[in-house]
Amino acid sequence: MGCKELGIPTGVITGENVRKLLKYASEQGFAIPAVNCTSSSTVNAALEAARDIKAPLIIQISQGGSAFYAGKGLSNEGQRASIVGAVSAAHHIRQVAKDYGIPVIIHSDHCAKKLLPWFDGMLEADEEYFKIHKEPLFSSHMLDLSEEPKDENIATCKKYLERMSKINLLLEMEIGITGGEEDGVDNTGVDNAALYTQPEDIWDVYRELSQVSDLFTIAAAFGNVHGVYKPGNVKLSPILLKKHQDHVKQKLNSKSDKPVWFVFHGGSGSVKDEIKEAVSYGVIKMNVDTDTQWAYWEGIKNYYEGKKDYLQSQVGNPEGEDKPNKKYYDPRVFIREAEKTMIKRVQEACRDLGNVDRL
C-alpha cells in the first residue's frame, strides 16, 4: 500500500490529498520531512532526494527564506519581498514537482504575530489561485503564536482556519515554547517549564480547531530546541506526545490511538531513537533546516578544498600557466556539489522518519 493505491497524485497536492497523505503517514507510523528551501537549487535538490528513494516530500519556506528567494536586493517593507518570494517559490515548485514524480506539499514556515502581513499576503495569493484552479497555491501554512497568551493563540488560529478551510488549506499551529532561536524570535533564555506543552493545552487547541476543519497540525513543545546543539544536550521527552494523544483520545471517546497530527520542530541534534519514538506517537512531519544547511555548505567546502589550486584565478593552474579554470568555477559545478551533499542529508532524514518506498 502506497500513495498511488491511495489515489494521492504526484506533483503539488492540496486539500483532500494532503488529508490522505497525513492519514497514511499516521496510520503507517512514519513522518515526512519538511525541508527548508531558499532557492531553486535547494528546492530541486530536495525533490531529487525524495524522488530517488520513492518518498513524498514537504518543502517549506520561511519568512526570511522567502525574502531571499525574491532577492536580498528587494526591500522587505511591509513584508513585500517575503510575499513575492514565497509566491515565486510556490510557482517554481508547482512547475517542476510533477516531473519529479512524487507528491509534494508546499508549506510556509513559522509566522509570528509581527509577521502576519506576510501570512495575509500568501493567503491572498492562495485565494486568487483558487478562483482559477479550484485549489490554493500553497498546500499549508504555519502560524506561530506560541509567544502570545494561549487564548489569543488559539482564537487567532481558529479565525485564520475559518478563512483557510474555505479554500482547503491546512494550518499548522504551535503551542508551548520551543527553545533556541528562529526567524527573529529568541527563546534561548526561556523558563524550563514553558518548554513542555501540557495535555490540556493540546485538547483546548484540538477542540476549538476541529470545530472548523480537520486540516490542522500541532507543533507541541516537548523539550525540543530550534537550531543545532550537541547530541544529548537536548532533553527531549517524546513520551509527552503519547500523553497528549491519550488525553485527546479520552476526551473524544475516539477509537484512534493517534487522533492528533503532531509536528516536530527543532529536531536537529536529536538522537535517532528519540526521533523514532516521537514518530511512533503520531508525529507526521518533522522540520529539517539546520542539518541540510550544513550539508549544502559541506559540498562547497569539500569541493574548494579538493580543487583549491584551480580556483585562484581565471587562467593558470598546476597543469600550466595558460590553462583556463572556467570549468572549475562555473557555478553549476560547485553548486551541484552542494546539492549532492544536501541530497544525501535529505535522504538520511527520510530514512530516520521511515519515509522511504512510500509511493
**By the criterion CB under 5 A, which residues form the site for Zn ion?**
174, 178, 265
Q: Provide DSSP, 97-131.
A: HHHHTSEEEEEE----GGGHHHHHHHHHHHHHHHH
Closer residue to Zn ion (CB): 143 or 295? 143
Which residue, 286 or 338, is less far from Zn ion as judged by CB?
Answer: 286
- Nearer of residues 174 and 337 to Zn ion, judged by Cβ: 174
Q: Which residues pair with 174 in a beta bridge?
A: 219
- The cell for 224 is 525540543
Distance of CA 160 to the CA centre of its chain: 20
The answer to whether the CB of 84 falls within 8 A of the CB of 130 is: no
Q: Which residues pair with 32 in a beta bridge?
A: 285
Per the CB < 8 A criterion, the answer to whether 131 and 120 are in contact is: no
* 120 is known as an active-site residue: no
Give the shortest CB-266-to-Zn ion separation in angstroms.
Answer: 7
In one-letter notation, the amino acid at residue 37 is: C
Q: How far is the CB of 224 from Zn ion (least distance, A)?
A: 8
Q: Could you tell me where the DSSP H helices lie in the chain?
A: 15-28, 40-52, 63-70, 80-100, 116-133, 150-165, 199-210, 239-252, 272-280, 290-307, 326-329, 331-353
CA distance 331 to 344: 20
Cβ distance to Zn ion smaller for residue 24 or 264: 264
Least Å distance, CB 293 to Zn ion, is 16
Q: Which is nearer to Zn ion, 187 or 213 (CB)?
A: 187
| Catalytic option among 99, 109, 204, 357 | 109
Q: What residue number has its CB nearest to Zn ion? A: 265
Strand order in the sheet with 185-186: 185-186, 179-182, 225-226
Catalytic residues, which ones?
A: 109
